[in-house]
Each structure stands twice: as C-alpha cells, then as structure tokens.
A = this chain, B = another copy of it.
Amino acid sequence: MDIASDSLDVGGGGASLGQGSPSGHAAPPVARTFLDSLIDAGILIPTGVDGIYGRSRVYEAIAEGMDALITEIGADQQAEMMRFPPTTPRNDFEDSEYLKSFPQLAGIVHSFCGNDHEHFRLVARLERGEDWTDQLRPTRVVLTPAACYPVYPVLARRGPLPPEGRVVDVFSYCFRHEPSIEPTRMQMFRMREYVRLGTPEQILAFRQMWIERGQKLADDLEVPHTLDLANDPFFGRGGKLVADNQRDLKLKFELLIPVNDGAPPTACMSFNYHVDHFSTVWPLRTADGEKAHTGCAAFGIDRLTLALLRNHGLDLSGWPRGVRALLGGI
C-alpha cells in the first residue's frame, strides 16, 4: 500500500483545463503555473479532463530513464518481476479493505451487457443527450489502486514464503479518482515498487535500506528533498483516527520534492510498512507458519518526472550533465 498523500489537495474536479491551450498555436500566454508551462511546451497534452494528459517524447524519455534507473538501483534485490495490467479482480479488491480506507479514490469498471433492444435504447438516449449509464453493470474488474495490490493474493496461493522471504518488483498504471489541476495529481499514473514479504525484522531492514537508497537517488538527481513521516488520506471522520495511528506507529515515510507552485513539496517516493494487513486478508505465511509482514518502497514515476522538469527546466539541454547520463543519456 502506498497512497502517496500530499498534505495539499487542490481541486476535486473544480477548475478544468478546458479544451484549449494546444502548443505552438498563436503566441504562448504568460505561463501562470507549472502545468501551463508544461502544456505550452507540448510536454503534457490536455484532454479536457483534469489529471488525464497525453505526454510527449521528452516526458516519456525521462519517465523511462527513471524506471530503468530504479531497476539498476534494485538489481541486487533478486526480485521476482511481475507485471500486471492496470485492472485487477474486483473480488480481491473488495477483500483488500481498500474500500474501507479510500472509497473516494476507487475506480470500478462497468460495462453494457444488454441485448439488441437495450442497445437501441442506449444509443437513442445518448443521441438525445440523456444519461444512459444506468444501463451499465459492474464487471469483475477494478482499476489497480497501487502497483503492489495484485501481488498479495497471487503469492498467497503459492504457499508459505521461503525462509528469506520474498522481494517482488512491480510496475503499473494506477488509478485514483481525484481530478486536480496539480500536474502531480494525475488520475492515472505510473508507480514502480519493490515489495517485501517476510518477518517484521526483514521488512523494517528493507524499508530502512530503501529510505537510504531513495535519498541517495534524489541526491544523484540533484533535486532538493526532505524525508518526512506521513499518513495515507483515509476517508471521512473515522479516517482521522486511522491516520493518526499510522503516524504514531511510524508506518509511512515519504520523500518530498518541491514541484508545484506555492505548494508544499510533493511525495515522489514512499516507504511503507503494512504490518500484517495483507496477511490478515490473504493467507500469506512465513516459512515458520507465522503471518507474513509486508512493506514496500514505491516510486511515483510521473511525479519524479515532473520533479525533474520542475527543478532542472523544460529544456533537457540545460539539465546537469550527470543527471542526463544517469537517466540513460537522455
């Protein structure tokens, strides 16, 4: 679990980017925000929905460079690589208790399952500009909320962990329903994680090691950064207590980098200890038959990409030479 939780939450579907602002069309307006400047430079392509952007070749080169660099940093982990698509089974999602903690962020996929007659009605309503979505039914899949979620039920089916536990390397598009005009708060974004399963000692040592590696990575990327205790954005009034408890137990740390205009720095990496949450939901056991503990080091690929663009500029040729080399010579 790694719900990167900035303290700042702009928006909630308020201001829209509108349909305009294509790059290279008429004189560029004065860049009012970082988002505007990314759009004016053609690095992000607005779609009319906040938090859903197309991205340019430059953006993708940085993102791919970041991903490859994290692979390199984790090469000694002997991790099992697993790649899941951005949808995951609804029954596992329901079991995970995500809906208890973050119902507001979930995305459940619905489809049309009707016949010819119902289809005729759907199309007619659509053409009249009426709502037609009550003809949809929930499917067996939901959008993946965090890259590590599909891993736990899959590993639980394999039986007990080996004595050394396991490390799994995951990467996924993730969805969170939180439309925002902060470019770092996309509705769909890429998350890379190393997930650790084992004893409490194994998880805590893993997390500490990755906190140090994360800080060194941010140093190497030459971006200002701080590490801070954090909590996930648990929903509602009851959520406040859960969040306080998470802080008291020091379960979540975030590496923060300044990205957005006049806003606190953004969580670009997080280092999480889930205690036995996932082995309470699924029968994940250590070699000794104990409930396995889990943790993860999560890297927000899109947030790191934006952090680099913010701190080194939109023109790669002006970036520090060492940073470009680190990212594969972009």
Interface residues in chain A, defined as those with a beta carbon under 8 Å from any beta carbon in chain B: 13, 19-20, 22, 25, 45, 47-49, 52-57, 59-60, 81-89, 91-92, 94, 99-100, 103-116, 119, 122-123, 126, 132-133, 136, 138-141, 143, 150, 153-154, 157-159, 173, 175, 177, 179, 186-189, 235-238
Copies in the complex: 2
Our pick among B91, B92, B109 for the contact of A175 (Cβ within 8 Å) is B109
**With a CB–CB cut-off of 8 A, which chain B residues contact A188?**
85-87
Whether A111 contacts B119 by the Cβ 8 Å rule is no
Contacting pair B140 A88 (CB below 8 A)? no
In the complex formed, the residue of B with least CB distance to A188 is B85
Contact A82/B177 with A108-B110, A110-B110, A111-B108 known, Cβ cut-off 8 Å: no
Q: CB distance A87 to B123 under 8 Å? A: no
Query: Are B92 and A47 within 8 A (Cβ)?
Result: yes
- Further 7 A-B residue pairs, CB within 8 A, beyond A60-B83, A110-B138, A116-B236: A103-B123, A104-B111, A107-B139, A109-B175, A116-B235, A133-B138, A173-B173
Given A136-B138, A188-B86: A106 and B111 interface contact (C-beta under 8 Å): yes
User: Distance (Å) between the CB of A146 and the closest chain B CB?
Assistant: 15
Task: Say whether, besides A47-B84, A85-B186, A104 and B112 are in contact (CB < 8 Å).
Answer: yes
What B residues does A89 contact at CB under 8 A?
A: 47-49, 52
Distance of A240 from chain B, by nearest CB (Å): 11
Contact B99 A126, beta carbon cutoff 8 Å: yes
Taken together as a complex, chains A and B put the C-alpha atoms of A143 and B175 apart, in Å, by 11
Q: How far is the CA of A53 from the CA of B109 in the complex (A)?
A: 17
What is the bound-complex CA distance between A167 and B212, given in angstroms?
Answer: 45
Residue pair B19, A157 in contact (C-beta under 8 Å)? yes
Q: 26 A-B contacts, Cβ less than 8 Å apart?
A: A13-B140, A20-B157, A22-B157, A25-B159, A47-B153, A48-B91, A49-B89, A49-B140, A52-B85, A52-B87, A52-B89, A52-B141, A53-B85, A54-B150, A56-B81, A85-B187, A99-B122, A103-B114, A104-B111, A108-B111, A108-B133, A116-B237, A116-B238, A119-B236, A133-B138, A173-B173
